[in-house]
Amino acid sequence: MSDATDLSRRRLLQCLGLSAAAMAVAPEWLLAAVEQGSQERPRQTEPDIELRITALITELPILSSDRPTKVWKFSGELIKGPAGTVEAIPDSYLGPVLRLRQGQKVRIRFHNKLPEDCVIHQHGMLVPEKADGHPRHQIGSGQTSVYEYTVLDRAGTYWFHPHTDKRTAEQVYYGMAGLILVTDTEEQSLDLPRDEFDVPLVIQDRSFDDRNQFRYVEHMHDRWMGFLGDRVLVNGKPNFVLPAATRAYRLRILNGSNSRIYKLMWSDGSPLTVIGTDGGLLKSPVIRNYVMLAPAERVDIWADFRGRKVGEEIALRSAAFSGVMPMMGMGGGMMGGGGGGMMGMRRGMRGGMMGRMGAALPHGSEYTILTIRIVREERGQLALPRRLSRIERYRPQDAANTRAPRSIHLSMRGMSPRLNGRSFELTKVVEEEMIPLNTLQVLEFVNRDHRDRGMMMAHPMHIHGQSFQVLKRELAPGFEQRYASVSQGFVDDGWKDTVLVMPGEKVTILKRFDHYTGLYLYHCHNLEHEELDMMRNFLVQA
Ligand code: C2O
Ligand code: CU
Ligand code: CU
């Protein structure tokens, strides 16, 4: 593999006097040739799907039509492929919904019209390293690049967002993200709600200033704890209402927030029927009173409104929880969970260094995310399938490192969240980050940095490439109270690519590294933490 990365190569070209503008007019084949340098695979022939994605800045009415909000956005356009492959969400800063099918060859022509670098990452999908959106492949303002891959992943809800060096959190916050819905023959053979009854819902928190403009990090603690907005948007809209019929729906929920964690619950107390997680459908449905959804995680909910009356409303809410934030500056009694705890916390924070943090909507408080309004009757008779998909459980004894799990210790020393004490280095890996191709690996995320106990917080840990399976969660003694209000909300039965690791927890996962060699990222998906370099590379090598 060549060490010269695209990022460094571009800097070199820039030093030689080739400006971004010069690069912009360079024909595509030249850029392709430049990129060929470190690509061992031949370029694929004719794609089944070809699309153009442009990163740009525009204005949209979010809170009111006479005071639009400036947003950053991916806009998409289908060049070749079935109609419906690229579907824009009207009046939303979110990028288009991309509908793909397993086996399709995809080519994405990316044009960066932002005033700064950008790159597209397809979260949850296994693609060649050149198409994975590593920051070393980011392109400058005015430039174009091409991503090519075959859809290997199973049916599921995936998504795309920038992965720009030190700029990911801000670019996502200002609007850059979109969904990728993959289908396959197994999913098609099921009688699941389709079309308008298969509803993608992207949950994000944002803050606005008095001119309706997005307000982002103002204090350093917004960065090292993660930015919290003071209101919730769904699919880019405030006070989201889904008009629904009296029948079954599939709600595909993505937590697209920078750092906020949700505890999903129906307002009338009925349980949630979970049919899928990050990497697609579960083996069979799972019933939970509440579901925790950390940044980047997805959950598919089967919502059956049969028997409800026209005019009735039911809300999807985030219920009260505690234990995910650092405890410094708070009395132990405030972590007890429930409404009383939150009141105490709010009081305790006022005027302190955390005084402004998400003041209107503290992490773990109770609030409505969206409302379902029953608007018409329908005699749909769709029944919840008992079997949803085939999932073979990995066995730890089949791993290449059964006795020596690769441990990733999460820490928050000072203002710097780290992985095994290290920060991100663009292309560097250490010995323990080198992974032999085509192996099953045991990995463990350990959130037990006792040296700075007060700083411990929950981290949603994500690994690029194939989805993984969660083998077990183990909690260190003394953390039970911090764990109590979230403990029943983790759905670890299926395929995951992001897993929330609570303070005191060790989460052991099994993950395969197949198909592609190269550098693949692993990081905290609290985007402010990622931006503070709580990220590293794995090098998958033959
Ligand atoms: Cu959703 Cu490396 O990211
Ligand atoms: Cu990812
Ligand atoms: Cu983190």
DSSP string over 377-431? ---------S-----PPP-GGGSTTTTS-EEEEEEEETTEEEETTB---SS---G
Closest ligand to Cα 460: 3
Q: Which atom of ligand 1 is nearest to the CA of 530?
A: 2
Q: Which atom of ligand 1 is nearest to the CA of 535?
A: 2
DSSP string, 242-280: EEEESSEEEEEEEE--SS--EEEEETT-PPEEEEEETTE
Structure tokens at 238: 């405030």
Q: Which atom of ligand 1 is nearest to the CA of 163?
A: 2
Query: In 3D, which of 358, 346, 73, 74 has the Cα closest to residue 216?
Result: 358
Structure tokens at 508: 């052991």
The Å distance, Cα 192 to ligand 3 centre, comes to 35
The Å distance, Cα 463 to ligand 2 centre, comes to 6
Q: Which atom of ligand 1 is nearest to the CA of 159?
A: 1
Per DSSP, 208 falls in state B
* DSSP H/E element including 21: helix 20-25
CA end-to-end distance (rounded Å), the chain: 11
Closest ligand to Cα 523: 1
Q: Which atom of ligand 1 is nearest to the CA of 123?
A: 1
* Interacting residues of 470 by C-beta distance below 8 A, sequence separation 6+: 490, 492, 496, 499, 507, 508, 509
Residues within 5 A (CB) of ion ligand 2: 123, 464
The Å distance, Cα 298 to ligand 2 centre, comes to 12
The Å distance, Cα 500 to ligand 1 centre, comes to 14
The Å distance, Cα 1 to ligand 1 centre, comes to 23
Q: Which atom of ligand 1 is nearest to the CA of 521?
A: 2
The Å distance, Cα 526 to ligand 3 centre, comes to 5
Q: What residue type is 496 in one-letter code?
A: K
Query: In 3D, which of 347, 344, 320 has the Cα closest to residue 334?
Result: 344
Q: What is the pLDDT of residue 432?
A: 96
Q: What is the pLDDT of residue 221?
A: 81
For residues 97 and 233, what is the distance between their CA atoms, to the nearest angstrom? 17
Q: Which atom of ligand 1 is nearest to the CA of 133?
A: 2
What is the number of other CB atoms lying within 10 angstroms of the CB of residue 75?
Answer: 17
The Å distance, Cα 498 to ligand 3 centre, comes to 12
Closest ligand to Cα 119: 1
pLDDT under 50: residue ranges of the chain: 1-5, 9-40, 329-358
Q: What is the pLDDT of residue 7?
A: 55
Q: Whose CA is nearest to atom 1 of ligand 1?
A: 123
Q: How many CA atoms lie within 13 A of 288 on its CB side?
A: 24
Question: Strands 535-541 and 505-513: what pairing?
Answer: unpaired
Given a contact cutoff of 8 angstroms between Cβ atoms, the answer to whether 469 and 442 are in contact is no
Burial class of residue 534, CB neighbours in 10 A (0-12, 13-18, 19+): buried
The Å distance, Cα 252 to ligand 1 centre, comes to 18
Closest ligand to Cα 297: 1
**pTM, to two decimals:** 0.89
Q: Whose CA is nearest to atom 3 of ligand 1?
A: 123
Closest ligand to Cα 524: 3
| CA dihedral angle for residue 85, residue 91, residue 95, residue 98, rounded to 10 degrees | -20
The Å distance, Cα 458 to ligand 3 centre, comes to 7
Q: What residues does ligand 1 touch, defined as CB less than 6 Å away?
A: 121, 123, 161, 163, 296, 462, 464, 521, 523, 525
